[in-house]
Amino acid sequence: MNEMKPADFALHIEKPTLVVNKERAHNNIKKMADKARKSGVRFKPHFKTHQSAAISDWFKEFDVNSITVSSVDMAGYFAEHGWKDITIAFPVNFLQIRKINKLAHEISLNLLAESGEAVGFLRRNVDKNVRIWIKIDVGYHRTGIDCDNFKEILDVVRDIEKAPNLILSGILTHAGHSYDQRSNHGIKKIYQETVGKLNEIRDKLRLHDFKDIEISIGDTPCCSVVDEFTGVDEIRPGNFVFYDIMQLEIGSCTEQDIALAAACPVVAKHEERNEIVIYGGAVHLSKDFIIDKKERKIFGRAAFLEKNGWGSLIRNTYVKTLSQEHGIIKTDSGTFNKIQVGDVLMVLPVHSCLTADLLRNFITLEGEKIQAAQYDFIK
C-alpha cells in the first residue's frame, strides 16, 4: 500500500461534504448495543441523527430491530426501508393523521400522547391498533406531562385503556436537561432522578391496577455515561452514533469517538487576526453553538485532513462565526501558517444531528457515498 496515497474520500471534496468514519460509528453502536444487552433493555436507537437507510443497516449487525424517529415522514422513510417497529418520539401531529393511519397498517407503530385531547383524537381517528407511550416531563420542560402531576398521568392512562384501538406501552421521557451537565457525576445524577421519578409513577400506576407499564428513556449523555441501565426497559439515544463537539464538552464521549466531520475548503486567510475563511456556513453546519470554558461561542472545531480521516482537534482553533456560506476559523499564528487557500479543513460539528440534516449525504473514509432521506415537500 502506497503510504502517500491520499484518503479515498478526499478526491471527492470540492465543497462542504459530510465525512463519516464508519469504524468509529460501528464502535459507538456496538458499545451502546452491548451495554443495552447486558442490562437486558431494548435498544431502540433514534434515527433522526443520520436519517439514512444505508446507515440504518449498520445497526442491523447488532440485532437492532426497532427504532425511534422524530417525524411521521421519517417513520415513512424507514418503514419503506424495511423497519417494522417504529416509535415517533414527537407529539402527535393531528394534521398528518392520514399518513399515521397508513403507517399503522404497515408496521408496529408507537406514538406519544401527553393529553386526553391527543388520546381522544387518536381514539376517534386511528383505524388500526397502535401502541401509545405517555410522554413525561422529568425536568427538561420542553413538552410532556409533568412527572409530579400524577392525576393527569392517571387520567391519560385511563383514557388510553378505554380506547379499543390504543394499546398502552408505558411511560417515556427525554431528559434533555442532561445537556446542561458538564460532568459524569452530574449526568449520572440526572439519570438517577429521571429513573427514580419514572419508577415512582410506575409504582403508583400498579396500585391502580395498571401492571404492564414499560419505561423508556432517551438522551445520549445519560445513555453514554451510565454503566448499567437499571430501572428502565428501553433506551432511545440517537446522537451517540456520531457524537460531536457538544457531547465532547458535556463529557459523553472522547475525541476519538466522534465519527462525523464536515470537510470544508479554505477560501481566504486574514493574517492580521489569525482568521481562516472556509466555505462552510450556517447552511452547512447549522448555527448551533456551545459556550466553552473561556466564554467563547464555538460553532465547530477544526482538524487537519489526514490519509486515514482527520487528525486531533487543532489547539486554539475553532469556528468563531458563521454566515450563510462563510465560516470564520480563529486560530493562532503557528496553525495559521500551516493552512493555505485551496486546502480542505475538517470541521467537527457542534451538533451532528443538525449538520447531517443540512448536508444530508455522507461519504465514508473509504469513499463510499451514502444517501439520506429526501422528504416530499408540502402535501
Beta-strand runs (E) in the chain:
17-20, 42-43, 67-69, 85-91, 108-113, 130-137, 145-146, 166-172, 214-217, 234-235, 260-270, 275-279, 290-291, 297-298, 300-306, 309-322, 326-330, 344-349, 362-364, 369-370
Question: Between 135 and 197, whose beta carbon lies closer to a second copy?
Answer: 135
DSSP letter, residue 228: S
Q: Is 94 in the site for a second copy (CB under 8 A)?
A: yes
**Degrees to nearest 5, angle at CA 358 with 373 and 98:** 40
Nearer to a second copy, 85 or 146 (CB): 146
User: Chain-centre distance of CA 159, in angstroms?
Assistant: 31
d(CA 35, CA 59) in angstroms, rounded, equals: 14
Tell me which of 173, 286, 335, 364 binds a second copy, using CB under 8 A. 286
Question: Does the protein bind a second copy through residue 364 (CB under 8 A)?
Answer: no
Q: CA 348 to CA 366: how far, in whole Å? A: 18
Select from 22, 106, 121, 188 the one that contacts a second copy (CB under 8 A).
121
| Chain centroid offset of residue 64 CA | 16
Tell me the H-state helices in 107-169: 116-125, 150-162
Region near a second copy per CB under 8 A, out of 79-87, 226-234, 265-273, 302-310 = 265-273
Residues 243-262 that bind a second copy (CB under 8 A): none
Cα–Cα dist 298/320, whole Å:
6
Write each residue from 96 to 115 as x if it is in contact with a second copy (CB under 8 A), else as -, in one continuous string. x--x--------------xx
Question: What is Dmax (Cα atoms) for the chain?
Answer: 71
| Smallest separation (angstroms) from a second copy to the CB of 171 | 16
**Which residue of 123, 188, 287, 307 would you call a contact of a second copy, by CB under 8 A?**
287
Residue 126 to residues 55, 96, 133, 167, 213, Cα–Cα distance (Å): 31, 11, 15, 12, 22
- Binding test (CB under 8 A) with a second copy, winner from 123, 158, 177, 360: 360
Q: CA 10 to CA 253: how far, in whole Å?
A: 26
Query: Is residue 152 near a second copy by the rule CB under 8 A?
Result: no
| Listed ranges 163-171, 198-206, 217-225, 285-293: which one lies at the site for a second copy (CB under 8 A) | 285-293
Is 4 a residue that touches a second copy (CB under 8 A)? no
- Give the three-class secondary structure for 210: coil
Nearest to 49 by CA among 337, 281, 258: 258
User: For residues 41 and 88, which CB has a smaller minimum distance to a second copy in the complex?
Assistant: 88
Residue type, 338: K
State yes or no: residue 302 binds a second copy (CB under 8 A): no
Q: Choose which of 23, 161, 193, 357 interacts with a second copy (CB under 8 A).
A: 357
Answer yes or no whether residue 87 interacts with a second copy by CB under 8 A: no
**Is 267 among the residues that bind a second copy (CB under 8 A)?**
yes
Closer CB to a second copy, 114 or 214, in the complex? 114
Residue 291 near a second copy by CB under 8 A: no
- Count of residues touching a second copy (by CB under 8 A): 64
Min dist. Cβ of residue 340 to a second copy (A): 8
Q: Is 120 helix (H, G, I), strand (E, B) or coil?
A: helix
- Residues in contact with a second copy by CB under 8 A are 11-15, 17, 48, 70-73, 90-96, 99, 114-115, 117-118, 121, 141-143, 146, 176, 265, 267-270, 272-273, 277, 279, 282-283, 286-288, 321, 323-326, 328, 341-342, 344, 353-354, 357-361, 363, 369, 377-379
